[in-house]
Amino acid sequence: MTTGAAVMSCRDVSVRYGASVALHDMSLDMHRGEMIGVLGANGAGKSTFVNALAGWSRGAAAVSGEISLLGRSIARVKPHVRFRSGVALVSEGKNVFGRVSVSDHFRLIRIPAPEDTRFRVTADEIFELFPRLAERRSHLGGQLSGGERQMLALACALLSCPRVLLLDEPSIGLAPMIVTELLQTVRRLVDRGLPVLLVEQNAEAALKVVDRVVLLETGRKVLEGGREVAGDSRIQDAYLGKRKE
Ligand SMILES: Nc1ncnc2c1ncn2[C@@H]1O[C@H](COP(=O)(O)OP(=O)(O)O)[C@@H](O)[C@H]1O
Ligand SMILES: [Mg+2]
């Protein structure tokens, strides 16, 4: 169930890398308790979009358009300040520190003061959500499997008390069973109120948990709708492998 005004919004966000435009006029509203899937083929502009929301880029990206958090513009705010304001991005690289233990990762996070609009979990709850991390709390980041690193990156994002969570391809490189488990865990967080933007190439897995999807093609939103869009031929053709030729 979604409630109230948008937590995060963007209007006409475009991103250029030099002369090439990777994202055109993207607009989207994210609400409490809502999980939105961002689908699209490789190179469609999915990472460019979530990175722009977080104020981050792998290169010299020129971002235009409006981005707001709880009605306040953050479009010109630095990435670390956006993070402190509650915009948590788990980027494609699943960044964790190789020589820092699981429990020391948690100690590195400065937990902000409690506020109604922030999602709050304790380290104990994190270990309940991710029992694998509890078993491996003394292991170093570099000793974890891909799935465990993904869980740790997600756990750190959650401990920062986010207002929105942006997940860039959490399923990449993970076994199908782990993907299902991970996405179901994320869904439970959404049901506790946290808005989540989930970037996925794996449309089939995403469509099981999201409320709404947007489909990007070469940097443009070409489709937006509820789960019923799973039946749209553009999604089926491109990602579910059901093309009949
Ligand atoms: N740092 C960068 N510099 C130049 N071009 C980039 C950069 N990052 C991405 N691109 C280009 O922007 C387009 C969208 O990329 P990306 O957002 O990573 O797509 P996706 O995440 O959907 O696979 C691609 O054509 C890609 O080559
Ligand atoms: Mg990407």
- How far is 173 from 202, CA to CA, in rounded Å? 11
Q: Is the CB of 213 under 6 A from ligand 1?
A: no
Q: Is the CB of 62 under 6 A from ligand 1?
A: no
Residue 244 pLDDT greater than 50, yes or no? no
- How far is 51 from 57, CA to CA, in rounded Å? 6
> For residue 245, is it within any domain?
no
Going by C-alpha positions, the residue among 130, 117, 199 that lies closest to residue 161 is: 117
What range defines the domain where residue 123 resides? 3-240
- Residue 103 parent element (H or E): helix 102-107
> For residue 211, is it within any domain?
yes
> For residue 216, is it within any domain?
yes
Q: What are the residues facing 29 on neighbouring strands? A: 9
Is the C-alpha dihedral spanning 53, 67, 83, 154 positive or negative? negative
Q: What is the model's pLDDT at position 10?
A: 98
Tell me what percent of the residues of the chain surpass a pLDDT of 90.
70
Total domain count for the chain?
Answer: 1
CA of 7 to the centre of ligand 2 (A): 23
> For residue 199, is it within any domain?
yes
> For residue 101, is it within any domain?
yes
Q: Is the CB of 22 under 6 A from ligand 1?
A: yes
Q: What is the model's pLDDT at position 17?
A: 94
CA of 212 to the centre of ligand 1 (A): 24
Side chain identity at residue 130, one-letter code? F
Here the CATH number for the domain that contains residue 51 is 3.40.50.300
Q: Is the CB of 97 under 6 A from ligand 1?
A: no
> For residue 172, is it within any domain?
yes
CA of 77 to the centre of ligand 2 (A): 23
> For residue 203, is it within any domain?
yes
- Residue located nearest, by CA, to atom 5 of ligand 1: 17
The whole-number average pLDDT for the span 105-119 is 87
pLDDT tens per residue, range 16-50: 999 999 999 999 999 999 999 999 988 999 999 99
Residue 219 pLDDT greater than 60, yes or no? yes
> For residue 8, is it within any domain?
yes
Q: What is the model's pLDDT at position 171?
A: 87
